[in-house]
Structures are given as structure tokens and as C-alpha cells.
């Protein structure tokens, strides 16, 4: 069981790295767009779509990493007033809701992605990219998200301990000025 | 069941599920799906992936991650301390000048970073220990920074305003402009109160800093000026209608990254990766809520809840200002428990028809809503800024910070009242620069 949880966390971390790379792709594409449009005076063809696709892709592929590092905002009001047992029950219920929702969206989006692939959908633009490529981010991301929520459920149920490799406390803090300590 | 009862049921179920501790995004999505299936049948699920993905498919929305990277780049450098240092060197003669420098530095840094907790961390780390050293009361030192940090979501460019603009289909350029004067007004109110309190407690008279020569005053400027020029450039480009918010934000982000590397010699790839990763986390969190909120508002309007609620409130024929007071109270309570972005996404699409039916301007309302959300940032249990400051000075207890921040909260309430009396504070600038909105 521990190995399964570790594997899921590995996948979530990988998703997070891909998301950061997609963020960089989006930044580079926007700059290229601005250069082409305002410096060269030409019209941009593919940049808008690449920016959209990369950032939406980053959202879905990065979401499991964000869940793993407790970055999705939630209301933890009751946590303050409950004892350990009730808190654990609450964590189990919370993870169950996440699994149900993400699992359902993952399942629905597979069908949606399949339609785009089988029907050879294209964006109605000059560039006209095939849509199954960007759409794939949703089923993949939501599946990983379901798995990560499952890993959290296993941890909350006491089946596995929290992964010491993931320092969530450090991740939760605000952006720290890196140079401040120098 | 009438649409109104249905609306109450939706609200009840949503609050109940939020209390479980499930992330906001997944609560909104789950509630939307449960109600869609219960009232429209299983077939309603077919459209769900389309709506969910479509919620993110907007070019304006994509400026959010770019602005986050821009703020992250600045916040990860020493720009905050330099800004503080620069203001202190210029204002050290003014009684209570240190506190004025702090609030001023917060306002500028807030505009640069667009994030309240990051502002508190960056300015507070330098400012709070310095103020305490020079004899300021702990409550004033921490409270002023907590309040100053909240300006981040009001002074443009503001991520909260972008989110409101997208949720309500309002011009983001106009919203940014509308936030500028109220942001300066709040800064002024904070400074005024700080000076009054410093006088009352007379704890500044002993707090003389050493004098600074003109050279010392000038040498700090070149490190701060480029960032301020970038922000000014972004605003100019947006209001000139030269470029879209996403284009301006993307170029601004890359320029800030470059400046951080050139001015602060931040060349470690590890540092940059860490900064990009935390920017990604924040952006993904917000975008996920946006996608789910799209599903939520789709459900609300498919089941006619939004429309019926607006009609029902219009039929009540209550005084519009009493209505505005109730709406603010509701938002204030929501703001105690949820971060601004989540509150706006959950409520703005439903509130907007009500606001417009009552004859209020949606741009003006955005400013009132944002100041209301600022109060939530310095009130427990979710007041992010309080915890950031508690982290900087662990020996100052949370209640002290809270008491210190209380007068500044009242300044914000006063700000809202002033905006109600003089809507022009928010509306004059956008109308002057961009023409009337209708």
C-alpha cells in the first residue's frame, strides 16, 4: 500500500513539473505574440491557442501536485474544534467528496476526449489545431487528481503515514523573499 | 419546490460541504453536478466536461498566472526591503514617518506583487522589527502592516479584479482604474490613523532614526525605479488599449524576471524553479476554482435560481442602500471564511443581476466588494495576513495583532461608506480616461 501511495505521489510531482514547464511555454508564447504583433506588425497565428492550451493543460496536470501539497483552498474551521477521531472522520469524508467529483469528471472527460479524437475536431481558426491534444489534459489530470485524493484518503484512514519527503509546511507558506536571509 | 427554496437548499448544501474541509473547487463542482442530475436528469452530465473546460478557455483569464509569476518574481527578490529602505530614507524626518514608510511601501509593493500575504511577508520582515526597535507599540507595528498588505487586491494590477471582471463580464481595464483612487484613499486613511495613534500613545518621540544624506537617499532609487516603471508601463498599455491584459501581464512577468536576475543577481536556477512552482500552485488553485465556479453558475442559471433570486429581491422593494448593507454583511461573513477569489467566484454571478436591478454600477460594486474582501484578510479564522505576520514575529500574540489591525478595519468600513456617499471616487477615473461605460 505504501508503494502505491509513493507511486501516486511521484506521478503528482511529475504532473507539477510538467505544469511549471507549460507555464514557461505560455510565457514564451505571449512574448513571441507581442513581438510578432507589435514589433513586426504581422498577425499572430498560433500563439493565442498555444497560450490557452498550455495554461489550461498546466491547470489540469498541476492540480494533483497542488492537492498533494495542500494548496487547494478549503475551509478548515471545524478542524480547530474537533478531537483527533472526529478530525480523521472529517478528512475521510472530505477526501471521499474529492474522489467522487474528480473521478466522475475524469470519466466524463474521457468520453468527451474520445469524441474529439474520433470526430477529428479542430479549432475553427487559421491555425486549426486538432483538439484531442489539448483536451487530453483534462482526463489525464482529473485521473491523477482522483488517484492523489485516493492517496490522501489512505493516509487519512491511517493506512499509510504522511510522506516525509513532501514538506507541505514549507510549501504552504507565502512566497518568501529569497534574498532576505542574505 | 420553488426556485427560491431551491436556492436556499443549494446554499445550505454548499456551506455544509465546505465545512467538511473539501477544497472549495471540488465542493462547487460536486454541488453543481448533484443538483443538475437531481433536477435535469443524468443527460445533463453530457455537457459537464464542456462547461468545466470552457470555464478556463478565455484569453483574459490567462493573465492571472502571468500576473502571479510577475508578483512571485518581485516577491522572491529583495525588492521589498529596498522599497522600504528607500521610503524610510526619504521620510525619516516626519513624526511617525517610519509607519508612513511602511504603509507606503505596502501600497507600492502590493501593486507590484498583487498578493496580500506576499506584501505582508516582504515589507513586514523588515518593517515590523524596525518599528518595534524604534519604540512603536507592537499592535500598531503589526496591525499597520497587516492592513497595508490588504491593499494588494485593490491597487492595480489586481488578480481579484481580473477574477471579478471575468465572472461578471466587466472590462478589466476599467476595473483596474476604478481601484486606483480608492486604493490611494485607503492608504491615506491608514496613514492618518497611524499618525493619530502614534501621537496618542506618544511612542514615536523617542524614535529618532539617524539622518540620511542626499546621496544615501538617491542611491536606493535605481534599484526600485525599474519595477515601478514596469507597473506604470502595464497600466499605460492597458488603458491606451494598446494590448490585452494577458499580453501586458506576460511581457511584464518576463521583464520582472529579467530585472530580478540583473539587479538582484538571482541566477540560481533552483530559486527560479521554486518561485515558478509556487506561482504555478497559486495559479492552479485559482483556475481550478474558476472552472468549478463556471459549472456552479451554469447549474444556478439552468435551474433559474439566479434569475428568480434577482426578481424576488427586486419585488421586495427594499431601500437599495439597505439592500447594499445586507449584501455587504453577507460578503463580510463569507470573507471571514474564504479567500477573496473564492467569494467573488461563488457570489458575483448571482449578485450582479441583483446589483444592476437595484441601480448600482457593477464597476463601483467591484471596488466595494474588494474593500470588503480586504477586511476578511485580517480577520480570523482565515485572515491570511494575520498568520503571515505571526510567522514573522512569533513573540507578538495573535490577539495583539488583531487589536492592532482593528482600527484599520474601521478605516476600511469608513472607506466603503465614503464610496457609497461619493461613488465618483471609484468611477471618475475610468470614465475620465475611457469614457462613460454606457
- What is the rounded average pLDDT for all residues in chain A? 84
Q: Which residues on chain A are in Cβ contact (under 8 Å) with B289?
A: 73
Is residue A24 scored above 90 in pLDDT?
yes
pLDDT at B77: 82
pLDDT tens-digit series, residues A49-105 = 999 999 999 999 999 999 999 988 888 778 778 888 888 888 899 999 999 999 999
Widest Cα–Cα separation across chain B: 75
Going by pLDDT thresholds of 50, 70 and 90, the confidence category of residue B172 is confident
Distance of alpha carbon A153 from alpha carbon A92, whole angstroms: 6
Cell numbers representing residue B7 in the block: 436556492
pLDDT at A18: 97
Q: Which residue reads 494577458 in cell numbers?
A: B246
pLDDT at A68: 95
Q: Kindly state the helix (H) or strand (E) to which residue A175 belongs, with its residue range.
A: none
ipTM of model:
0.87
Going by pLDDT thresholds of 50, 70 and 90, the confidence category of residue B307 is confident
Report percent pLDDT > 70 for chain B: 97
How many interchain CB pairs under 8 A, A with B? 216
Q: Which residues on chain A are in Cβ contact (under 8 Å) with B250?
A: 26-27, 30-31, 33-34, 51
How many CB atoms sit inside 10 A of residue A21's CB?
16
* B contact test, residue of A30, A62, A140 with most B CBs within 10 A: A30
Interface check for B26 against chain A (CB to CB < 8 A): the answer is yes
B66, B71, B284 ranked by CB distance to A59: nearest: B284
Q: Which of B247, B409, B291 is nearest to B33 (CA)?
A: B291
Interface check for A55 against chain B (CB to CB < 8 A): the answer is yes
Q: Kindly state the helix (H) or strand (E) to which residue A74 belongs, with its residue range.
A: none
pLDDT at A115: 92
Going by pLDDT thresholds of 50, 70 and 90, the confidence category of residue B204 is low
Is residue A163 scored above 80 in pLDDT?
no
Cell numbers representing residue A149 in the block: 485524493
Q: In terms of pLDDT, which residue wins out, A173 or B210?
A: B210
Q: What is the DSSP letter of A125?
A: S
Quick one: average pLDDT of B410-416? 95
Which residues of chain A from 96 to 135 reach within 8 Å of chain B, CB to CB? Answer: 97-98, 100-102, 104-105, 108-109, 111-112, 135
Residue contact A171–B281, C-beta within 8 A: yes
Residue contact A171–B282, C-beta within 8 A: no
A71, A77, A90 ranked by CB distance to B285: nearest: A71
Is residue B61 scored above 90 in pLDDT?
no
Q: Which residues on chain A are in Cβ contact (under 8 Å) with B50?
A: 112
Quick one: average pLDDT of B373-383? 83
Going by pLDDT thresholds of 50, 70 and 90, the confidence category of residue B88 is confident
Interface check for A7 against chain B (CB to CB < 8 A): the answer is no
Going by pLDDT thresholds of 50, 70 and 90, the confidence category of residue A164 is very low
- What is the rounded average pLDDT for all residues in chain B? 86
List all residues 6 or more positions away from A5 whose beta carbon is below 8 Å from its beta carbon.
Answer: A151, A154, A155, A160, A163
* B contact test, residue of A16, A26, A59 with most B CBs within 10 A: A59
Q: Which of B412, B304, B416 is nearest to B360 (CA)?
A: B416
Is residue A171 scored above 50 in pLDDT?
no
Quick one: average pLDDT of A138-157? 92
Q: What is the 3-state secondary structure (H, E, C) of chain B?
A: CCHHHHHHHHHHHHHHHHHCCCCHHHHHHHHHHHHHHHHHCHHHHHHHHHHHHHCCCCCCCCHHHHHHHHHHHHHCCCHHHHHHHHHHHHHCCCCCHHHHHHHHHHHHHHHHHCCHHHHHHHHHHHHHHHHHHCCCCHHHHHHHHHHHHHHHHCCCCCHHHHHHHHHHCCCHHHHHHHHHHHHHHHHHHHHHHHHHHHHHHCCCCCCCCCCCCHHHHHHCHHHHHHHHHHHHHHHHHHHCCCCCHHHHHHHHHHHHHHHHHHHCCCCCHHHHHHHHHHHHHHHHHHHHHHHHHHHHHHHHHHCCHHHHHHHHHHHHCCCHHHHHHHHHHHHHHHHHHCCHHHHHHHHHHHHHHHHHHCCCCHHHHHHHHHHHHHHHHCCCCCCHHHHHHHHHCCCCCHHHHHHHHHHHHHHHHHHHHHHHHCCHHHHHHHHHHHCCCC
Quick one: average pLDDT of B351-376? 92
Q: Which residues on chain B are in Cβ contact (under 8 Å) with A102?
A: 26
Q: Which of B73, B76, B63 is nearest to B250 (CA)?
A: B63
Which residues of chain B from 304 to 333 reach within 8 Å of chain A, CB to CB? Answer: none
pLDDT tens-digit series, residues B247-299 = 888 988 998 899 888 888 888 889 899 999 989 998 999 899 989 998 998 99
Q: Which of B432, B405, B379, B426 is nearest to B144 (CA)?
A: B405
Query: Could you give the C-alpha distances from B335 to A108, B154, B328, B329, B370, in angstroms and in order?
Result: 33, 15, 10, 10, 10
Is residue A162 scored above 60 in pLDDT?
no
Q: Could you please report the per-residue DSSP string of A15-65? A: HHHHHHHHHHHHHHHHHHHHIIIIIS-PPPSSHHHHHHHHHHHHHHHHHHH
Distance of alpha carbon A161 from alpha carbon A5, whole angstroms: 10
Residue contact B280–A58, C-beta within 8 A: yes
List all residues 6 or more positions away from B395 whose beta carbon is below 8 Å from its beta carbon.
Answer: none
Going by pLDDT thresholds of 50, 70 and 90, the confidence category of residue A175 is very low
Distance of alpha carbon B185 from alpha carbon B208, whole angstroms: 28
pLDDT at B357: 87
Distance of alpha carbon A178 from alpha carbon A180, whole angstroms: 6
Is residue A25 scored above 90 in pLDDT?
yes
pLDDT at B196: 86
Going by pLDDT thresholds of 50, 70 and 90, the confidence category of residue B398 is confident
Interface check for A72 against chain B (CB to CB < 8 A): the answer is yes
Distance of alpha carbon B125 from alpha carbon B127, whole angstroms: 6
Amino acid at each position: 500500500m505504501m508503494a502505491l501511495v509513493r507511486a501516486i505521489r511521484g506521478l503528482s510531482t511529475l504532473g507539477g513539473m510538467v505544469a511549471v514547464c507549460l507555464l514557461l511555454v505560455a510565457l514564451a508564447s505571449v512574448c513571441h505574440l507581442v513581438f510578432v504583433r507589435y514589433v513586426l506588425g504581422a498577425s499572430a497565428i498560433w500563439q493565442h491557442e498555444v497560450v490557452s492550451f498550455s495554461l489550461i493543460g498546466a491547470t489540469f496536470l498541476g492540480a494533483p501536485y497542488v492537492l498533494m501539497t495542500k494548496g487547494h483552498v478549503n475551509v478548515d474551521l471545524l478542524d480547530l474544534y474537533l478531537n483527533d477521531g472526529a478530525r480523521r472522520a472529517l478528512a475521510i469524508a472530505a477526501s471521499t467528496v474529492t474522489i467522487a467529483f474528480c473521478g466522475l469528471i475524469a470519466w466524463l472527460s474521457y468520453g468527451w476526449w474520445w469524441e474529439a479524437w474520433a470526430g477529428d475536431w479542430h479549432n475553427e481558426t487559421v491555425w486549426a489545431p486538432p483538439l484531442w491534444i489539448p483536451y487530453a489534459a483534462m482526463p489525464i489530470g482529473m485521473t491523477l487528481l482522483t488517484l492523489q485524493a485516493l492517496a490522501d484518503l489512505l493516509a487519512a484512514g491511517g493506512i499509510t503515514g504522511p510522506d516525509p519527503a513532501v514538506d507541505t509546511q514549507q510549501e504552504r507558506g507565502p512566497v518568501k523573499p529569497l534574498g532576505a536571509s542574505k | 419546490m420553488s426556485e427560491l427554496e431551491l436556492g436556499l437548499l443549494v446554499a445550505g448544501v454548499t456551506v455544509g460541504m465546505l465545512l467538511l474541509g473539501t477544497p472549495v473547487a471540488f465542493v462547487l463542482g460536486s454541488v453543481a453536478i448533484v443538483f443538475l442530475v437531481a433536477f435535469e436528469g443524468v443527460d445533463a452530465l453530457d455537457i459537464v466536461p464542456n462547461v468545466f473546460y470552457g470555464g478556463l478557455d478565455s484569453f483574459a483569464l490567462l493573465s492571472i498566472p502571468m500576473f502571479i509569476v510577475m508578483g512571485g518574481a518581485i516577491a522572491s527578490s529583495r525588492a521589498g526591503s529596498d522599497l522600504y529602505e528607500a521610503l524610510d530614507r526619504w521620510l525619516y524626518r516626519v513624526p511617525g514617518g517610519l509607519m508612513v514608510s511602511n504603509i507606503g511601501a505596502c501600497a507600492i509593493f502590493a501593486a507590484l506583487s498583487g498578493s496580500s500575504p506576499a506584501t505582508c511577508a516582504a515589507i513586514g520582515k523588515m518593517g515590523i522589527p524596525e518599528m518595534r526597535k524604534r519604540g512603536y507599540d507592537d499592535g500598531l507595528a503589526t496591525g499597520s502592516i497587516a492592513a497595508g498588505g490588504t491593499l494588494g487586491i485593490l491597487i492595480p494590477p489586481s488578480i481579484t479584479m481580473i477574477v471579478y471582471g471575468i465572472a461578471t463580464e466587466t472590462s478589466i481595464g476599467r476595473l483596474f482604474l476604478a481601484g486606483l483612487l480608492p486604493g490611494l484613499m485607503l492608504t491615506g486613511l491608514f496613514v492618518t490613523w497611524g499618525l493619530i495613534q502614534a501621537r496618542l500613545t506618544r511612542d514615536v518621540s523617542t524614535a529618532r532614526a539617524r539622518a540620511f544624506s542626499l546621496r544615501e537617499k538617491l542611491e536606493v532609487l535605481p534599484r526600485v525605479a525599474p519595477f515601478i516603471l514596469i507597473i506604470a508601463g502595464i497600466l499605460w498599455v492597458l488603458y491606451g488599449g494598446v494590448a490585452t491584459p494577458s499580453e501586458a501581464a506576460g511581457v511584464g512577468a518576463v521583464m520582472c524576471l529579467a530585472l530580478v536576475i540583473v539587479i538582484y543577481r538571482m541566477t540560481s536556477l533552483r530559486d527560479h524553479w521554486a518561485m515558478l512552482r509556487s506561482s504555478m500552485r497559486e495559479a492552479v488553485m485559482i483556475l481550478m476554482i474558476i472552472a468549478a465556479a463556471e459549472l456552479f453558475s451554469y447549474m444556478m442559471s439552468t435551474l433559474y435560481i439566479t434569475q428568480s433570486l434577482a426578481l424576488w429581491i427586486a419585488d421586495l422593494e427594499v431601500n437599495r442602500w439597505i439592500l447594499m448593507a445586507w449584501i455587504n454583511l453577507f460578503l463580510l461573513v463569507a470573507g471571514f471564511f474564504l479567500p477573496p477569489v473564492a467569494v467573488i467566484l461563488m457570489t458575483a454571478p448571482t449578485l450582479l443581476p441583483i446589483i444592476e436591478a437595484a441601480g448600482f454600477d457593477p464597476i463601483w460594486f467591484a471596488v466595494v466588494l474588494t474593500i470588503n474582501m480586504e477586511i476578511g484578510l485580517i480577520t480570523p479564522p482565515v485572515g491570511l495576513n494575520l498568520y503571515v505576520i505571526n510567522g514573522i514575529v512569533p513573540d507578538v500574540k495573535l490577539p495583539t495583532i488583531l487589536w492592532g489591525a482593528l482600527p484599520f478595519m474601521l478605516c476600511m468600513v469608513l472607506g466603503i461608506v465614503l464610496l457609497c456617499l461619493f461613488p465618483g471616487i471609484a468611477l471618475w477615473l475610468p470614465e475620465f480616461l475611457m469614457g462613460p461605460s454606457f
